Amino acid sequence: MNLSEMRAQPDAKLTNLSKANFFDWKEAGTMGSKVRPFGQWVRRYLHFVRVYKQNNEEITTVIPCINFDYNQAIVTPQSPDQAVCPIDEVYDLQLKGETSKVLPFIKFPEPPASWGKDAKIQRASFSANVNAINRAKQNGSGVIEEYLQVVSFKKTAFEKILLLAGASDEADVDFARGDPASIEEGYDIKLIYHQDKPGTQRYEVQAGLSTTPLTDEENNSVAEAIDLQEYYKIRTKDEIIEHLTKIYESDGNGDSNSSSGASDDIANMMKKAESSLNVG
Spatial distance between the Cα atoms of 114 and 97, rounded to a whole number of angstroms: 22
pLDDT digits (tens), the chain, 280 positions: 777 777 776 654 433 334 679 999 999 999 999 999 999 999 999 999 999 999 999 988 899 999 999 999 999 999 888 889 999 999 999 999 999 999 999 999 988 777 778 888 889 999 999 999 999 999 988 889 899 999 999 998 999 999 999 888 887 887 888 999 999 999 999 999 999 998 778 999 999 999 999 999 999 999 889 999 998 999 999 999 999 999 999 886 544 333 333 334 444 444 554 444 443 4
CB atoms within 10 A of CB 146: 13
Spatial distance between the Cα atoms of 63 and 92, rounded to a whole number of angstroms: 16
Bridge partners of residue 106, in order along the sequence? 51
CATH number of 3-275: 3.90.198
Question: Is residue 251 classed exposed, middle or buried when 0-12, 13-18 and 19+ CB atoms within 10 A define those classes?
Answer: exposed
CB atoms within 10 A of CB 36: 23
Query: How far, rounded to the nearest angstrom, does the alpha carbon of residue 207 sit from its chain's CA centroid?
Result: 21
* H or E segment to which residue 166 belongs: none
DSSP string, 8-19: PPPPP-----PP
Dump pLDDT digits (tens) for 86-134: 999 999 999 999 999 999 999 999 887 777 788 888 899 999 999 999 9
Per-domain residue ranges for the chain?
Answer: 3-275
